[in-house]
Structure 1
Amino acid sequence: MAAAIGTEITRGAGRARRWLEDNGLPHSDEIPLRASGSAFDEGGEYGVEIPVVNNFRVLEATLRLLREEGLPVTRFNETLGAFLLSDAEVADMLALCRESDVGMVFALGPRPEYDRKAAFYRGGFGASQGRRVNNNDALAQSAEEALRLAELGCRGLIAYDLGVIRMLSNMRQAGTLPADLMIKSSSHCIVSNPLTAQVYAETGANSVTVIHDVGLPVLQEMRRLAPRLTIDVPTDVYGSKGGFIRFYEVAELVQICAPMMLKIGASAQSHPHDPVNENTIRQRVQRVALCLEFLKKSDVEAKYISDLSPQRCVPVEA
């Protein structure tokens, strides 16, 4: 006869949970939340990252509005692919960021949406597999883009493929790419659990953008398993990706994930490929103000990232 059900809950997958816990691995979402106690090497627990700044016009307008509102920004993300921009426009964007003492992180291409050899990934099934690079020519072209951007003074790259990250890390170790180049994984890499985050850190990523809906216990275990990784957390999401806003969690995010980036402003758009106009930029800046207001009201004593941190990705002279 089976034992009567008592007041204590017996969890499913008990044997596996015990093994995972005994070996120091994530085993449950029901864990006590705690502050990481970590910070960037040069000081500060968090920075501010603004995505979809894909040309000089948008960059210039965003910087102007942020200055008018007295708001900080650590680094911007270009997200369509730097190969769609001329050397001159990339150089102008890097120069403006350098003069403004803010960072700029450019996305590498080619990606499946541009690559004639990757038609599978543009179909319904393939799209769900992420933006994988599926041919050697694309690897070479990604490496060439990295070299071009580094030579123009860029010190931050976004990659969409784990193999590309390994390649960039090898180039950096060999001195072919600058030692202070920051390698960041896109949310399209689907970093959705602590073990995946650990793999990206071990492969050479300095910074990962986690999948948008990752909960606090998962983020806490990511921080534990990858202690030197900068965790970039979207605080608000494009309408086409769910449209949710995590401003009431910002205080917990900063405490649990530090050192981390608050990735703010996506909810100003329905889709990342939507045209960006003045109204979109104003909404992005308003989201930054709101997010930081929620953090301030929480009374969490978190410090903004130090001006000395290489994670800011401030461009250098070409």
Structure 2
Amino acid sequence: MADTSGTEVMRHASRARAWLRDNGLPYSDEIPLRVSGAEFDAGGHYGVEVPVVNSLRVLEATLGMLRAEGLAVTRFNETLGAMLLSDSEVTDMLTLCRENDVGMVLALGPRPEYDRKAAFYRGGFGASQGRRINNNDALAQTVEEAIRLTELGCRGLIAYDLGVIRVLKEMRGAGVLPADLMIKASSHCAVSNPVTARIYQENGADSVTTMHDLGLAVLQDMRRVAPGLTMDVPVDVYATKGGFIRFYEVPELVQICSPMMLKIGASAQSHPHDPVNANTIAQRVQRVALCLEYLARSGIEARYVSHASPHRCLPETIGSRPPCRS
């Protein structure tokens, strides 16, 4: 047998790989990693996003612990669905975020778990539906939620359905929703490859939470194929979603995915619906500090997102109603 050591391996699916490569599409997981070089529109490479801040009580406690540790974050995510919050609580949360110079992204509903017409979602095969809505009334109610929340000053919305994202884009273009509204695709949209990411960008998403287990090569091609999309990358994950923590990869993620949000703190919970208490919040804040320490220790050039970027989703001041704090 001839000595073939050192010879390049012949890859399977070679015709497909050649066509994909020649047409500028992803073709392999074994590609050189390169610095993105892109920044947010107003400057900066990365921001910090903290999920599961679902009530005024949790928001107040989280802000207090962040201040005590000398930490700043870019924006919070409310993830249960803002339809579960009154106008008063939404207004108070947005006001508190504005006062503390931090953004808030609120989740749209109704989602299938709240919708009596989404019986399939509750069945054994319901996971295949994701959180996509399956009836016209739910679409209308979701749009009404978008109008309500933006009227209260919200400038960041999380959507779970590609069709909803497209409608929000059209409403924003028509002036029904604010021009500076940021539309975020949830991880439940299952954006797991670069071509899907491009479809979400083309249909109105300004940012997308990537699937939790994507490798560096896939994320790099996602950045290349969807250059206008901010990538919100989970760097630690709920135990029920895998439980992994990729802090050592944070410097690579920032270089490859910029402009991007480091989505930090999920590993403080086993499941996103677990109750949040003081210990949960303290662990979440500790994860933020630790992740940023890994980034600082790497020595790479990485600038925090500019204060002027609309991707911060800083709430607008609407009306003059004073906040009602208990």
Normalised-by-shorter TM-score class? over 0.9
Q: Does 2:263 match 1:263? A: yes
Query: Who is 2:114 aligned against?
Result: 114
AA at the equivalent of 2:42: E
How far is 1:129 from its partner? 3.2
AA at the equivalent of 2:164: V
Query: Who is 1:44 aligned against?
Result: 44
Query: Who is 2:249 aligned against?
Result: 249
Give me the whole-angstrom Cα distance separating, in 1, the residues matched to 2:306 and 2:8. 47
Query: Who is 1:230 aligned against?
Result: 230
AA at the equivalent of 1:16: A
How far is 1:228 from its partner? 1.3
Query: Who is 2:315 aligned against?
Result: 315
Give me the whole-angstrom Cα distance separating, in 1, the residues matched to 2:187 and 2:128. 13
Q: Tell me the TM-score normalised to structure 1 length.
A: 0.98
Query: Who is 1:78 aligned against?
Result: 78
Query: Who is 1:23 aligned against?
Result: 23
Give me the whole-angstrom Cα distance separating, in 2, the residues matched to 1:96 and 1:251. 31
Query: Who is 1:187 aligned against?
Result: 187
Q: Tell me the TM-score normalised to structure 2 length.
A: 0.96
Post-superposition CA distance 1:57-103 (Å, at most 9, x none)? 00000001101101110000000000000000000000000111100
For residues 96-245 of structure 1, the aligned pairs below 5 Å read 96-245=96-245
For residues 284-303 of structure 1, the aligned pairs below 5 Å read 284-303=284-303
Give me the whole-angstrom Cα distance separating, in 2, the residues matched to 1:124 and 1:296. 45
How far is 1:123 from its partner? 1.9
Post-superposition CA distance 1:11-41 (Å, at most 9, x none)? 0100100000111100000000011001011
Post-superposition CA distance 1:103-122 (Å, at most 9, x none)? 00000000110001111012
Query: Who is 1:281 aligned against?
Result: 281
- 3-state secondary structure, aligned to 2:42: coil
For structure 1, list consecutive stretches of 5 or more residues without a partner in the other structure.
none
- 3-state secondary structure, aligned to 1:49: strand
How far is 1:221 from its partner? 0.4
Post-superposition CA distance 1:185-204 (Å, at most 9, x none)? 00000000000000000000
AA at the equivalent of 2:85: L
Post-superposition CA distance 1:264-284 (Å, at most 9, x none)? 000000000000000000000
How far is 1:4 from its partner? 9.1
Q: Identical aligned pairs, as a percentage?
A: 76
Q: 1:230 to 1:72 in 2, by over 3 A?
A: same
Give me the whole-angstrom Cα distance separating, in 1, the residues matched to 2:123 and 2:178. 37
- 3-state secondary structure, aligned to 1:124: coil
Give me the whole-angstrom Cα distance separating, in 2, the residues matched to 1:276 and 1:67. 19
Matched pairs, number: 317
AA at the equivalent of 2:166: R
Give me the whole-angstrom Cα distance separating, in 2, the residues matched to 1:277 and 1:178. 34
Moved more, 19-28 or 115-124: 115-124
Give me the whole-angstrom Cα distance separating, in 2, the residues matched to 1:129 and 1:244. 25
